């Protein structure tokens, strides 16, 4: 009997190792073959009943060069099936999950429609289905793969440009292509380890900032909104490009709406007031500026906190596509999500607030003195957890700032002091009015200084620079300038000019209005850069 040689033994060992592991599905798109026919888009819509207006996969067109020396390039765009998917980490209820075979799938019946997965995805691959309100995306037609079939897009591609296979299969064509050929992935700097590989791709289509977005009239077969920045598009400076290639322009794309709208901007503001009001009242009592038996400490500050905390919860629930499912954050929490952690932090803060009001009702200053200790750290946690929620949104480079937690703490002090100042002025409480005046001055100065520091520091990525342009000179420049002018410069000047209660009340109102304008500009500008 002939003994197997080294090659046969090596093949047998590889086959044994392959069979010992779950399959790990990957996809290769060969752009040397793609003809831009959109058959994959149509097949996906038909197979998965994707409604009009949204797509799990689509083909972007980019025109390069100057007439008559021009060329059209394509990019088949869809979920990247990341090995480390940020959408799974950010989903508060595990509606987005990763199967043992590596496929990132979703459960529509569990989804609460928070859109955290959309904000987290660096590839703009997830959307809210307008028919059922749940998040969805390409899942490699997992129902077909489970039956031993190819995904619908693979089956219909006339040029065999789309290939799906097992990365662990040693003799598989897809694994061989990835191991042997020069393939590319989208945004490798995000460290998501994408498993969608592009062969023969043009950088002008792969990089969303390498090609200009037309201002109107140049798109084929589609309509783009006029307010591109308001829908996730971009108005960038003349000549802006991350590519040194010939002039390039996107001529076919789909609309990309921002996942978090004005309600999220407003929520960050109401949360700052809620956290800061009780925090500053407790600090004032601890420093001897305010007596614990004073109405402002017993009732005014906690009631302001309660009203704005209720508004914060209402905005968060209102922003959900499935608001009646909000309770699932507490009944099936996914603890890596900062939406979950934030919900429990807010719940703890609400519980401490209720106990404080109970102490006011029964006249128990002893209980309130005990509560002062946990209120300070929990109020600060309430103020700053959103910074970590924004950091979990890997798609948005403007929000990836290590200064953001401390900046949100400063904003809470600013908002809380501004909320208490008019009440102190009405009570003619000079002992409290004077220190609050200087706290407000310090808070608005620190806020302006931190904003200036962020703008002065060079940005590490083109996406961050583009978002900063949108903030300071683009679609949201008016809100930003109101935020700094009305929210920082005017209150600072008023605090320096006079210590009168009426003047300080005006300064406080200006600070709150300016903070709201700044929050809106910051939240929306961070989402105004194209990702796909």
Q: Given a cut of 80, is residue 131 above it in pLDDT?
A: yes
How many CA atoms within 13 Å lie on the side-chain side of 65?
8
Q: Given a cut of 50, is residue 235 above it in pLDDT?
A: no
pLDDT of residue 10: 47
In the CATH hierarchy, which top-level class contains the domain 23-252?
alpha beta
What interhelical angle do 477-484 and 501-525 show, nearest 10? 150
Contact 329/340 with Cβ under 8 angstroms?
A: yes
Q: Given a cut of 80, is residue 414 above it in pLDDT?
A: yes
Q: What is the pLDDT of residues 451-468, one digit of tens each?
A: 999 999 888 888 899 899
- Highest mean pLDDT among 9-18, 159-168, 419-428, 480-489 belongs to 480-489
Q: Given a cut of 60, is residue 391 above it in pLDDT?
A: yes
pLDDT of residue 251: 78
What are the residue ranges of CATH 1.20.1630.10 in the chain? 262-525
Closest CA to 515 of 466, 447, 464, 461: 447
Task: Give the chain's mean pLDDT.
Answer: 89
Q: Given a cut of 50, is residue 231 above it in pLDDT?
A: no
Q: b/e per residue, 426-465, with b = 16+ CB within 10 A?
A: eeebeebbebbbebbbbbbbbbbebbeebeeeebebbbbb
Q: Give the model's confidence band at 211: pLDDT under 50 very low, under 70 low, under 90 confident, else very high.
A: confident
What are the residue ranges of CATH 3.30.70.20 in the chain? 23-252
Q: Given a cut of 80, is residue 171 above it in pLDDT?
A: no
pLDDT of residue 229: 41
Q: Span 253-263, mean pLDDT?
A: 87
Q: Give the model's confidence band at 169: pLDDT under 50 very low, under 70 low, under 90 confident, else very high.
A: confident
Q: Span 411-435, mean pLDDT?
A: 93
Helix locations, 363-403, DSSP H: 365-392
* Comparison of pLDDT for 430 and 288, the residue scoring more: 288
**C-alpha span between 187 and 191 (Å, rounded):** 8
Q: Span 310-317, mean pLDDT?
A: 97
Q: Given a cut of 70, is residue 111 above it in pLDDT?
A: yes
> What is the dotted CATH code of the domain comprising 262-525?
1.20.1630.10
- Highest mean pLDDT among 16-20, 185-189, 326-330 belongs to 326-330
The DSSP code for 239 is: T
């Amino acid at each position: 009997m002939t003994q197997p040689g080294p090659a046969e033994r090596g093949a047998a060992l590889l086959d044994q190792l392959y069979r010992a592991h779950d399959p790990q599905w990957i996809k290769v798109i060969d752009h040397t073959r793609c003809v831009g026919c959109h058959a994959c888009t149509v097949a996906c819509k038909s197979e998965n009943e994707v409604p009009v207006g949204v797509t799990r996969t689509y083909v972007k067109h980019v025109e390069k060069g100057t007439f008559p020396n021009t060329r059209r390039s394509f990019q088949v765009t869809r979920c990247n099936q990341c090995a480390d998917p940020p959408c799974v980490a950010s989903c508060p209820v595990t509606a987005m999950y990763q199967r043992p075979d590596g496929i990132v799938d979703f459960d529509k019946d569990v989804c609460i429609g928070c859109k955290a997965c959309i904000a987290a995805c660096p590839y703009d691959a997830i959307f809210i289905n307008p028919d059922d309100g749940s998040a969805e995306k390409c899942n490699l037609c997992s129902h077909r793969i489970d039956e031993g079939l190819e995904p619908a897009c693979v089956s219909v591609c006339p040029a065999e440009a789309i290939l799906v296979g097992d990365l662990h299969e040693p003799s598989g064509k897809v694994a061989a292509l990835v191991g042997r050929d020069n393939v590319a992935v989208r945004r490798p700097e995000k460290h998501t380890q994408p498993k969608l590989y592009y062969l023969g791709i043009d950088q002008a289509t792969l990089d969303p900032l390498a090609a200009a977005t037309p201002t109107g009239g140049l798109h084929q077969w589609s309509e783009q909104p006029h307010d591109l920045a308001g829908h996730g598009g971009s108005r960038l400076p003349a000549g802006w490009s991350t590519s040194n290639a010939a002039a390039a322009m996107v001529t076919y794309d789909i609309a990309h709406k921002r996942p978090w709208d004005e309600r999220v901007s407003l929520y960050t503001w109401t949360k700052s007031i809620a956290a800061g009001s009780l925090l500053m009242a407790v600090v004032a009592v601890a420093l001897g500026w305010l007596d614990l038996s004073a109405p402002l400490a017993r009732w005014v500050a906690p009631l302001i906190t309660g009203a704005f905390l209720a508004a914060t919860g209402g905005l968060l629930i209102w922003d959900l596509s499935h608001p009646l499912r909000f309770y699932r954050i507490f009944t099936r929490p996914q603890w890596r999500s900062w939406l979950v952690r934030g919900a429990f932090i807010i719940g703890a803060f609400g519980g401490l607030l209720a106990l404080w009001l109970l102490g006011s009702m029964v006249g128990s200053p002893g209980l309130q003195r005990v509560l002062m200790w946990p209120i300070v750290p929990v109020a600060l946690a309430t103020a700053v957890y959103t910074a970590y929620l924004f950091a979990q949104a890997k798609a948005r480079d403007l929000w990836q700032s290590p200064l953001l937690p401390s900046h949100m703490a400063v904003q809470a002090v600013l908002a809380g002091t501004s909320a208490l100042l008019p009440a102190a002025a009405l009570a003619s409480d000079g002992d409290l009015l004077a220190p609050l005046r200087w706290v407000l001055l310090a808070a608005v100065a620190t806020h302006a200084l931190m904003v200036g520091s962020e703008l002065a520091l060079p940005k590490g990525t083109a996406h961050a620079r583009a978002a900063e342009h949108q903030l300071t000179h683009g679609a949201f420049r008016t809100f930003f300038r109101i935020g700094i002018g009305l929210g920082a410069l005017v209150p600072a000047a008023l605090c320096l000019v006079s210590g009168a209660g009426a003047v300080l009340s005006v300064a406080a109102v200006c600070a709150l209005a300016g903070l709201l304008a700044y929050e809106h500009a910051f939240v929306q500008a961070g989402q105004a850069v194209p990702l796909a």
